[in-house]
């Protein structure tokens, strides 16, 4: 009985770790998309941040691009608009629905 509980705990721990890795990869992909689109428009991080309402500093844009932070939904929409894109291009919907815990 004790070993079954331990196995479940290990399985749950791996699931959380894998989900965290997947979330980090997604953040990194969004950040890369933001950086590529910004650079293709020859826009600095500061200039992109100034186009948002309220404006953000270049450090916030940098953290988003590096995948260290995720912009809030309203910021995602503003970022897409500031770059002249549809939000779905920068932030596509997931192709799979995560299973309920």
Q: What is the pLDDT of residues 20-29, one digit of tens each?
A: 555 555 556 8
Whether 35 shows a pLDDT value over 50: the answer reads yes
In the CATH scheme, what is the homologous superfamily, with its name and number, of domain 25-90? lambda repressor-like DNA-binding domains (1.10.260.40)
Q: What is the pLDDT of residues 49-58, one digit of tens each?
A: 999 999 999 9
Per-residue confidence (pLDDT) for residue 89, from 0 to 100: 79
- Please give the C-alpha separations between residue 15 and each of 20, 26, 48, 99, in angstroms, as whole numbers: 8, 16, 36, 11
Which strand (E) or helix (H) includes residue 64? helix 58-66
pTM of the model: 0.66
Cβ neighbors of 29 (< 8 A, separation 6 or more) are 67
Q: What is the mean pLDDT of residues 50-75?
A: 92
Which strand (E) or helix (H) includes residue 82? helix 73-82
CB atoms within 10 A of CB 51: 14
Distance CA 35, CA 59 (A): 13
CA 27 to chain centre: 3
Whether 83 shows a pLDDT value over 60: the answer reads yes
Give the position of tokens 């941040």: 49
């Amino acid at each position: 009985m004790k070993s079954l509980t331990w196995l479940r705990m290990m399985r749950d721990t791996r699931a959380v770790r894998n989900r965290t890795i997947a979330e980090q990869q997604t953040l990194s992909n969004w950040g890369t998309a933001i950086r590529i689109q910004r650079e293709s428009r020859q826009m600095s991080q500061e200039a992109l941040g100034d186009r948002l309402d309220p404006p953000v500093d270049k450090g916030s844009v940098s953290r988003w691009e590096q995948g260290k932070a995720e912009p809030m939904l309203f910021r995602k929409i503003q970022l897409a608009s500031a770059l002249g894109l549809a939000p779905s291009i920068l932030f596509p919907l997931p192709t799979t629905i995560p299973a309920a815990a």
